[in-house]
Structure 1
């Protein structure tokens, strides 16, 4: 009886040993697989940014010159040749023209009316200078800073929140290759740039305009017209404007009272944020494309005067005040005009459009890698049509 149990016992012992070895092999394989999968599970949601590029992007090379210019303006020195010349004429343009009030009447430099304008100008410039600093969470304030005044004008007080859908329409000639006019107009808000003409281009660019986004050079030209006329889309269309030169606050001071719709100057903290982001992408592209050190970047991109484009800041504005953003007319093609509505041949050296296209790509695909923006801000979905 005992001999008959031995084969059975041996068989059971073999089964136990085999099962034990199999379990060990399975555990080791699973452990190896988990180790290999570990980086995928712990993949960071935000890419590692280049600290050197971040540091250089935070340096405003034109800051000393800007401060000196503001000091001269606050002293009343509007021009290199003295304040007795028109305070609306620009160093860039040889045309000298008399300043005019909102009613079209000449403003004498020594008149009480000019003195009131002068006091307002000083206040605007001082406030702008005081607030011109970096603030990573400024995007959170854009609905109150921009949408708030526009809603108050339209009678939508207390609405709050953001616009549901927004279309930002750039000025690239690639717009003429598509017929997205109806699609553009279907958005709740349509933002257009620098008074670009829409007449005869409606099939390509639409006809609706909710916000006119301009740089202050545009208003400077508008200020030369009677009544500071600067609203080709209609007198009830709000204008949002960023300041290119501090002296343009004179134009803003003169024209603000004549605009029925709001004329909103972008917050300088928002300007600084846009400047840093654009410079970071420009530095990054320069290093990657040329293989050179970043010390060579200023000479390649007019370091002192380098600036983001109006389109870039308009897109950033939409990202801050809209729940969904669609972008049209950003990009270029050898077969398309630079601007759909002008005969301009080339690009301005003070902009780096290629770097801005890299930014738009990240905005659509991987917004979490965009630097300088607070983690508290939630990016809306962005679609780019080309």
Structure 2
């Protein structure tokens, strides 16, 4: 009997020490040394994540950022850019006379948890009822022409950032929404400059919106070096270049502490459809983008608890 009592006392002591140690590990850091106020902050704490995530890469261009020749040469090959690096810089300098010369990014803080919802355009969002959950996040990133009107119950109502390029632009953004340009040509900078002011004039065969409404003070421009990093490190050079949606997802990993992902992947019939339109081409896939690789990477990030992936129905 005494032996059992002693064993129980030892077990209680070990349990108490373990619980105390766990508490020490979780709460011993002073508040101002913690990365964020989330239950779990994104960090480089496992080999798989370290292999892919590089916090030093700047997601956005700024007036004082110098793009390297190597990155420019990679970027210019994406869609047949014909200009040189000097022309790129001059065109970008003109744009920075209109839009902020440095990005408006919510910095990490030990007393705040930056939550981010990345909302893709997949048909699997239909009847998902994710809308209230999406709207609960601090940062809500939508991609290209992703719509909210008429789909509020499934996709929410708020948008803090919209990532798009000229061919996928919307004609009007809310005054509180950041327009995030994903540039694939130097002329994309000229397009944005014109579209935000007097109207863009271009060759007739380039079908883009000539004028858009957006808050010029909230414009941000994705860095081609960031685009290359996503292609090299996250997709291991699969496909020609990342999709806008996947760029948005990795961007969220860089600017938020907790990331939730909605509306990615094929619908229940295996088609890469949009939730707001009827799919006419039943064989539509992901074009130049490595859709399957991107989807598997999202699944792995969910498995590694670096984000929460809501797959829809």
The TM-score, its normalising length taken from structure 1, stands at: 0.49
Bigger Rg, which one: 1
Structure 1 residue 256, shift from structure 2 partner: 4.4
- For 1:255, the equivalent position in structure 2 comes to 195
Where do residues 16-95 of structure 1 align in structure 2 (5 Å cutoff)?
45-46=46-47, 65=77, 69-71=81-83
Structure 1 residue 242, shift from structure 2 partner: 1.0
- For 1:194, the equivalent position in structure 2 comes to 144
- For 1:349, the equivalent position in structure 2 comes to 287
1:252–1:280 CA distance, 2 compared to 1 (3 A): same
Give distance in 1, aligned partners of 2:151 and 2:79: 42
Give distance in 1, aligned partners of 2:47 and 2:237: 16
Structure 1 residue 160, shift from structure 2 partner: 6.0
Give distance in 1, aligned partners of 2:139 and 2:102: 17
Where do residues 122-271 of structure 1 align in structure 2 (5 Å cutoff)?
123=93, 146-148=103-105, 161=109, 164-219=114-169, 230-231=171-172, 233-257=173-197, 259-261=214-216, 262-271=218-227
CA contact (8 A) 1:170 1:192 kept: yes
The TM-score, its normalising length taken from structure 2, stands at: 0.59
CA contact (8 A) 2:165 2:182 kept: yes
RMSD: 3.8
Give distance in 2, aligned partners of 1:275 and 1:217: 21
Structure 1 residue 184, shift from structure 2 partner: 0.8
- For 1:362, the equivalent position in structure 2 comes to 300
1:66–1:194 CA distance, 2 compared to 1 (3 A): closer
Structure 1 residue 67, shift from structure 2 partner: 10
CA deviation profile, 1:280-323 (whole Å, cap 9, x unmatched): 173xxxxxxxxxxxxxxxxxx5xxxx121111011111111111
1:347–1:245 CA distance, 2 compared to 1 (3 A): farther
1:68–1:212 CA distance, 2 compared to 1 (3 A): closer
Q: Does residue 1:340 correspond to 2:290, yes or no? A: no
Structure 1 residue 186, shift from structure 2 partner: 1.1
What are structure 2's unaligned runs of at least 5 residues? Answer: 1-44, 52-69, 96-100, 198-212
Structure 1 residue 216, shift from structure 2 partner: 3.6
SS of the residue corresponding to residue 71 of structure 1 reads coil
Give distance in 2, aligned partners of 1:188 and 1:163: 9
What are structure 1's unaligned runs of at least 5 residues? Answer: 1-43, 50-57, 76-117, 126-143, 152-158, 223-229, 283-300, 368-380
> Is the helix fraction higher in 1 or 2?
1
**Count of residues in correspondence between the two structures:** 222
Give distance in 1, aligned partners of 2:304 and 2:71: 25
1:342–1:362 CA distance, 2 compared to 1 (3 A): same
SS of the residue corresponding to residue 342 of structure 1 reads coil
CA contact (8 A) 1:185 1:208 kept: yes
Structure 1 residue 348, shift from structure 2 partner: 3.3
CA contact (8 A) 2:246 2:294 kept: yes
Give distance in 2, aligned partners of 1:63 and 1:244: 7
